[in-house]
């Protein structure tokens, strides 16, 4: 095809370009569905988080319960041991009873040794002892020199408690110490004295009832935490217990932050208005669930417990659930988009098919009307035309005037009658041919053969008009299934249309290309006047014609025949530059080859 222009008409199934509204509704439903899935997924993640957090809270409260139970057992053991020791009857103590008391003694001895270290380094002072005693909740912390005199003390005492160097001791330092301890015992003050091996001094630590209660509780708590194993294997990061005044009772691990007694949560838990509280914190690169709960002893709130459980496995489960949810949501979105696209595509295709069927039905109705009209015209007009034709021939033969002038006029009039009768016959033939063109009898024939017949038929007419016919179809025959008479009629109409478009001299070229992709291309190119795109869009419409004579059914007839063969027609035309008709016909038969009806 000539590369000077572009295809401005091609017969194909028309596409329905208007958007179909139903997929919009489907898209809205899918969006709502996806939103519901996302909302349900988020709610499910929250429920999972709450469930796992609740599980960890239960685990934390079980740990608190274990610490409370062990602490209570240690306290009860110490109380029972002290009661037995104060009785008149000797009762041997078991290892279980000795262990807490021994642990308390070791703690007090450790404090005395810490003070002794400061004493040796000469960093000891009364202010240090007062601060240390307040921090450790000691009633008295005193340092005696080698002669029994008070070198430093954490608080001022009555003279009768520590009388200094007494004459009754008669220079014997060993006789004064039992007297001092006896006086402290009479005041119901518990004490422990740690004397240096070289006798150069003594450290005295005294505890009142509050101090004994505090250190007994503290030792019991620390012993319970030690027995608990400091949370190993339970995901426990830290655990700390403080009494109501904020004094430390036991600790394992490092806290993210220290809280004072005025902290709102501490106040609520101590007052019993909040049974338990948990929160997520990040500390030391770990995600931790911190649990704050009251610490009970003797069925009363004795303090507050803070413990942290590592959320590693919990966060891993939540992350996996979140990942699964997003993967599922992505699949749902993909399926929804694919469904919308398929629905949109199928609905538009079906709607386009419906529109095409409506057009075909309308066209079939028009063609059926034309067929009925042609049959009626043939029936109603042919007989009168035959009578008129016979009468005109008889008039010309038997009633010829003798006068030469009238004879010439008479012949002209009869010639007009004869020509008009011939034209009417031609119109009727076009109607009949068009109405009968929809049934095809297919047989394998050579394309070049029917084209050559057409060239032989119209070559004389073309030479008369000054038109040159050129052929280019090679030496190899191209055989395709066809209805030879119908296809010959179609190509004849294309070639006649090409000749009629040339005013004066010109050229019509007929070419055949070898089959490509199962189709044969036959091109008819002229050097005529060409057409505009608007004219090309209408040339195959039976109601449209530019001819002054005839009905202009040649191209619509050719179009119907080509479509009946399963072919396509392409038109390339430029105004004043000629036109090319390209006919594409299938090279193989699709059907039984007989009785094939066109669309």
Note whether residue 65 is domain-resident: no
Q: What is the pLDDT of residue 188?
A: 63
Helix ranges (H only) for 263-311 are: 264-271
Q: What is the pLDDT of residue 92?
A: 47
Q: What is the pLDDT of residue 511?
A: 92
pLDDT tens digit sequence for 292-304: 999 998 888 989 9
pLDDT tens digit sequence for 333-371: 788 778 778 877 887 788 888 888 888 788 767 766 766
- Which residues lie below 8 Å from residue 60, measured CB to CB, with a gap of 6+? 278, 289, 291, 293, 307, 309
The answer to whether 240 and 248 are in contact (CB under 8 A) is yes
Q: What is the pLDDT of residue 542?
A: 65
The answer to whether 510 and 469 are in contact (CB under 8 A) is yes
The CA–CA distances, whole Å, from 159 to 163, 180, 207, 534 equal 5, 11, 19, 130
pLDDT beyond 70 at 49: yes
Q: Which of 84-93, 160-169, 262-271, 490-499 has the lowest mean pLDDT?
A: 160-169
pLDDT tens digit sequence for 401-423: 777 778 888 887 887 788 778 76
pLDDT tens digit sequence for 481-501: 988 878 888 888 889 888 888
pLDDT tens digit sequence for 5-23: 444 445 444 444 455 456 6
pLDDT beyond 80 at 170: no
The answer to whether 135 and 128 are in contact (CB under 8 A) is no
The predicted model gives 533-556 an average pLDDT of 68
Note whether residue 45 is domain-resident: no
pLDDT tens digit sequence for 251-261: 888 888 888 88
pLDDT beyond 60 at 165: no
The predicted model gives 209-218 an average pLDDT of 83
Q: What is the pLDDT of residue 353?
A: 82
pLDDT beyond 80 at 230: no
Q: What is the pLDDT of residue 164?
A: 47
3-state SS class at 481: strand
Note whether residue 445 is domain-resident: yes
559 burial via Cβ count (<10 Å: 0-12, 13-18, 19+): buried
Of 525 and 380, the structure prediction assigns the larger pLDDT to 525
Note whether residue 477 is domain-resident: yes
The CA–CA distances, whole Å, from 107 to 68, 154, 363 equal 21, 19, 110
How far apart are alpha carbons 140 and 540 in whole angstroms? 121
- Please state, for a pLDDT cut of 90, what percent of the chain lies above it: 4
The predicted model gives 106-135 an average pLDDT of 82
Q: What is the pLDDT of residue 293?
A: 92
Residue with tokens 């008129």: 388
The predicted model gives 573-578 an average pLDDT of 84
The predicted model gives 444-459 an average pLDDT of 87
Note whether residue 162 is domain-resident: no
pLDDT tens digit sequence for 370-379: 666 666 666 6
The answer to whether 482 and 445 are in contact (CB under 8 A) is yes
pLDDT beyond 50 at 598: no
The answer to whether 490 and 557 are in contact (CB under 8 A) is yes
pLDDT beyond 60 at 528: yes
How far apart are alpha carbons 211 and 243 in whole angstroms? 13
Note whether residue 301 is domain-resident: no
Strands 506-516 and 467-472, by their bridges, are: parallel
Note whether residue 531 is domain-resident: yes
Q: What is the pLDDT of residue 120?
A: 80
Q: What's this model's pTM, rounded to 2 decimal places? A: 0.49
Backbone angles phi, psi at 14, to 5 degrees: -65, 145
How far apart are alpha carbons 555 and 547 in whole angstroms? 12
pLDDT beyond 70 at 442: yes
pLDDT tens digit sequence for 266-301: 888 888 888 888 888 888 788 888 899 999 988 889
Mean residue pLDDT across the chain: 76
Query: 405: number of CA atoms within 13 Å, CB side?
Result: 0
What CATH number is given to the structural domain containing 473?
3.30.565.10
Note whether residue 530 is domain-resident: yes
Q: Which of 91-105, 228-242, 404-418, 445-459 has the lowest mean pLDDT?
A: 91-105
The predicted model gives 203-217 an average pLDDT of 82
Q: What is the pLDDT of residue 305?
A: 92
Of 544 and 77, the structure prediction assigns the larger pLDDT to 77
Chain Cα centroid distance, residue 342 = 18
Neighbours of 468 (CB within 10 A): 14
How far apart are alpha carbons 104 and 115 in whole angstroms? 17
The predicted model gives 413-441 an average pLDDT of 70
pLDDT beyond 70 at 176: no
Helix ranges (H only) for 436-526 are: 447-465, 484-500
The predicted model gives 83-91 an average pLDDT of 48
Q: What is the pLDDT of residue 331?
A: 83
pLDDT beyond 60 at 239: yes
How far apart are alpha carbons 361 and 319 in whole angstroms? 62
- Which residues lie below 8 Å from residue 112, measured CB to CB, with a gap of 6+? 192, 194, 203, 205
- Please state, for a pLDDT cut of 70, what percent of the chain lies above it: 77
pLDDT beyond 60 at 124: yes
The predicted model gives 516-530 an average pLDDT of 88
Q: What is the pLDDT of residue 175?
A: 38
Helix ranges (H only) for 19-125 are: 22-85, 95-120
- Which residues lie below 8 Å from residue 377, measured CB to CB, with a gap of 6+? 427, 428, 431
Tokens of 219: 């030792």
The predicted model gives 70-94 an average pLDDT of 64
Highest mean pLDDT among 207-216, 457-466, 589-598: 457-466
Strands 443-446 and 467-472, by their bridges, are: unpaired
Chain Cα centroid distance, residue 575 = 54
Tokens of 515: 């089959």
The answer to whether 150 and 141 are in contact (CB under 8 A) is no
Q: How many domains does the chain have?
A: 1
Q: Which of 180-194, 371-385, 451-465 has the lowest mean pLDDT?
A: 180-194
Domain that holds residue 537: 439-597
């Amino acid at each position: 095809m000539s590369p000077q222009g572009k295809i401005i008409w091609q017969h194909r199934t028309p596409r329905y370009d208007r958007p179909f509204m139903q997929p919009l509704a489907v898209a809205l439903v899918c969006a709502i569905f996806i939103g519901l899935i996302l909302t349900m997924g988020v709610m499910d993640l929250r429920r999972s988080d709450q469930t796992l957090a609740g599980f960890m809270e239960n685990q934390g409260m079980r740990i608190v319960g274990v610490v409370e139970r062990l602490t209570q057992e240690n306290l009860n053991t110490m109380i029972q041991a002290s009661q037995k020791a104060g009785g008149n009857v000797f009762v041997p103590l078991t290892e279980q009873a000795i262990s807490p008391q021994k642990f308390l003694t070791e703690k007090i001895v450790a404090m005395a040794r810490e003070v002794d270290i400061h004493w040796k380094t000469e960093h000891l002072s009364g202010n240090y002892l007062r601060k240390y005693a307040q921090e450790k909740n000691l009633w008295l912390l005193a340092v005696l020199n080698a002669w029994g005199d008070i070198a430093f003390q954490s608080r001022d005492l009555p003279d009768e408690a520590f009388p200094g160097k007494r004459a009754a001791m008669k220079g014997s330092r060993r006789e004064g110490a039992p007297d001092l301890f006896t006086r402290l015992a009479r005041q119901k003050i518990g004490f422990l004295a740690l004397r240096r091996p070289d006798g150069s001094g003594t450290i005295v630590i005294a505890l009142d009832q509050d101090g004994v209660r505090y250190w007994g509780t503290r030792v019991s708590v620390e012993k319970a935490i030690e027995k608990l194993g400091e949370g190993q294997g339970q995901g426990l990061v830290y655990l700390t217990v403080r009494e109501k005044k904020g004094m430390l009772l036991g600790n394992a691990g490092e806290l993210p932050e220290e809280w004072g007694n005025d902290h709102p949560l501490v106040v609520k838990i101590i007052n019993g208005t909040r049974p338990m509280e948990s929160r997520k914190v990040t500390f030391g690169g770990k995600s931790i669930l911190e649990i704050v709960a009251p610490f009970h002893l003797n069925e009363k709130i004795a303090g507050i417990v803070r413990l942290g459980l590592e959320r590693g496995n919990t966060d891993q489960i939540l992350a996996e659930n979140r990942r699964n949810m997003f993967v599922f949501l992505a699949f749902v979105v993909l399926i929804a988009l694919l469904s919308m696209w398929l629905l949109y595509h199928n609905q538009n295709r079906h709607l386009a098919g419906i529109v095409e069927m409506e057009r075909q039905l309308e066209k079939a109705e028009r063609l059926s009307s034309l067929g009925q009209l042609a049959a009626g015209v043939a029936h109603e007009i042919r007989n009168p035309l035959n009578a008129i034709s016979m009468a005109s021939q008889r008039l010309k033969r038997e009633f010829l005037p003798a006068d030469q002038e009238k004879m010439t006029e008479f012949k002209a009039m009869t010639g007009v009658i004869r020509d008009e009768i011939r034209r009417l016959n031609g119109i009727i033939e076009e109607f009949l041919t068009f109405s009968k063109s929809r049934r095809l009898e297919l047989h394998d024939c050579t394309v070049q053969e029917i084209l050559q017949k057409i060239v032989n038929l119209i070559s004389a007419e073309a030479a008369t008009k000054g038109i040159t016919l050129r052929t280019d179809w090679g030496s190899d025959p191209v055989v395709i299934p066809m209805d030879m008479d119908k296809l010959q009629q179609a190509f004849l109409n294309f070639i006649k249309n090409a000749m009629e478009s040339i005013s004066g001299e010109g050229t019509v070229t007929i070419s055949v290309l070898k089959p490509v992709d199962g189709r044969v291309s036959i091109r008819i190119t002229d050097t005529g006047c060409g057409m505009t795109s608007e004219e090309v869009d209408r040339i195959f419409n039976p109601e449209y014609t530019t001819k002054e004579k005839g009905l202009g059914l040649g191209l619509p007839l050719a179009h119907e025949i080509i479509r009946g063969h399963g072919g396509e027609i392409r038109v390339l035309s430029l105004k004043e530059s000629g036109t090319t008709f390209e006919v594409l016909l299938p090279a193989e038969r699709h059907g039984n080859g007989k009785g094939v009806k066109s669309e």
